[in-house]
Amino acid sequence: MPKQLVPVANKPVLVHCLENIRDIGVTEVGLIVGDRRDQIEAAVGDGSGLGLRITYIEQDAPRGLAHTVAIARDFLGDDDFVMYLGDNVVVGGVAEAAADFRAHRPAASGMVVKVADPSAFGVAEVGPDGRVERLVEKPKEPRSDLILIGVYFFTPAIHQAVAAIEPSTRGELEITDAIQWLVDSGADVRARDYGCYWKDTGRVEDILECNRELLDGLTHEIAGEVDAASVISGPVVVEAGARVVDSRVTGPAVIGAGTVLRGCAVRPYTAIGRDCVLTGTDIGDSIVLEGASIDQVAGIQGSLVGRQARIRSLEDQERHRLIVGDDTLVEVAA
């Protein structure tokens, strides 16, 4: 599945992004899609459920972020716009950055954070007044520990920059090269520190960390059924149609609609998707995607269980039996 659709706190990363976009007053969204358009469109539709109007813009191959601006030219017209990467989790929203851009209207504006290893990102050198002096995409020897996170604000000046640059050594049109073109041409390009939580969800560890961060803001709500033999403590969401039977759920945790727990211990920072069945299972700090079933398995920790996956314990079995999909990591206790 596209990593933008992996659920974090039981909501796809892309939906978290779209909600942040909506919350700054944007109503028209151009969504760049590739060969997995059908999965993305099935998840967000026309955007009306989020208060947005979504136009799908197809990119024939991953040709770089600046290329997405080029193919969205007709959609964007001469409007100012925000460019938001759909695999970024930005907790706390971008309202302050949007208001600052609207108030001062530089040609381009971004947000930066400090990281230990900036070489895998677009690195920014920023002056004391907030002006961007230099940008380099994935430098081998970074001259700054500040990286641009995946939210950019642009005036139409960016279109001239995109038209002027050439593909990088990676064969892509880099948005950092387009912004650097603006810097070199004397345009006002700004960056501000982002003081809240941000993460690029490129690895399972990142997804689980985002899940913990978002669940920390959970509001307790029991809309499903919880029987008298069950114990709920801490902030827990049990969605409508879910059933908790003879189980202990310790929040923050969320149990998706239609899911059934029987004789389970659900520990903090666990998000269980819709229509799952868990029986006699002990699980914590994990994400379980929709339709999965786990039967009589103890000690599941820090795990990501895929859609429709089945995990079960085999009695009187001395060896493990695994059916493992592509690019899967399985760690088995000795």
User: Could you give the CA distance from residue 180 to residue 186 in angstroms, rounded to a whole number?
Assistant: 10
Asked if CATH classification 2.60.40.10 holds for the domain at 218-312, the reply, yes or no, is no
- Residue-level pLDDT at 333: 73
pLDDT digits (tens, 9 = 90+) for 44-91: 999 999 999 999 999 999 999 999 999 999 999 999 999 999 999 999
Q: Does the structure show a pLDDT above 80 at 315? A: no
What secondary structure does DSSP assign to 9-60, as a single string? TTEEHHHHHHHHHHTTT--EEEEEE-TTHHHHHHHHTTSGGGT-EEEEEE-S
CATH T-level fold of 3-214: Spore Coat Polysaccharide Biosynthesis Protein SpsA; Chain A (3.90.550)
Average model confidence (pLDDT) for the chain?
93
User: Could you give the CA distance from residue 178 to residue 73 in angstroms, rounded to a whole number?
Assistant: 15
Mean pLDDT, residues 21-39 taken together:
96
Do domains 3-214 and 218-312 share one topology? The answer is: no
Q: How confident is the model at residue 120 (pLDDT cuts 50, 70, 90)?
A: confident
CA within 13 Å, CB half, 180: 17
pTM of the model as a whole: 0.89
Look up residue 26 and give its two tokens: 């944007």
Mean pLDDT, residues 204-220 taken together:
94
Question: What does the domain layout of the chain look like in residue ranges?
Answer: 3-214, 218-312
